[in-house]
Amino acid sequence: MPTKNVLPVMKYADVKENIGNGKPLILSFGMSHCYSCLAMSKVFAEVLKVHPEFQIYSIDSQKERLVSRDIYKLKEMPTQLFFNASGEEVFRHTGAYKKAVLDIILKKYGFD
């Protein structure tokens, strides 16, 4: 499956200091061979085209197994973790969203 127009995969160590930096943040955990993970990554890439100021990061849960499994206790992919401006996890979702649903959730959790 082509991976055109997806979020770039980041290392957790490179983005964890952004959690709680005064802006809401999303960590999107997924795997490169997972259809739903790639679909969700494409939706987030669309959002970032319109709102490049949003903090949305893709994390490879296979390469970052200790983070996804041990720190965040994730069991299924894709999973998105939503953090408020103070760095508290306020919402998590497993599976993929359609963009219209994601837009509502983004607004609810402070992404304006």
At 92, the amino acid letter reads R
What is the token pair recorded at 7?
Answer: 């979020």
Separation CA 83–CA 3 (nearest Å): 26
How high is the pLDDT of residue 109?
92
How high is the pLDDT of residue 4?
67
**What's the average model confidence in pLDDT over 70-79?**
96
How high is the pLDDT of residue 112?
80
Which domains are delineated in the chain?
A: 9-108 (3.40.30.10)
The helix/strand/coil state of 39 is: helix
Question: For 15-61, how does the pLDDT look when each residue is reduced to its tens digit (9 = 90+)?
Answer: 999 999 999 999 999 999 999 999 999 999 999 999 999 999 999 99
Do residues 40 and 97 lie in contact, with contact meaning Cβ atoms separated by under 8 Å?
A: yes
What pTM does this model have? 0.93
pLDDT band of residue 1 (cuts 50, 70, 90) is very low
Alpha helices for the chain (secondary structure H): 12-15, 35-50, 65, 99-108
How high is the pLDDT of residue 48?
95
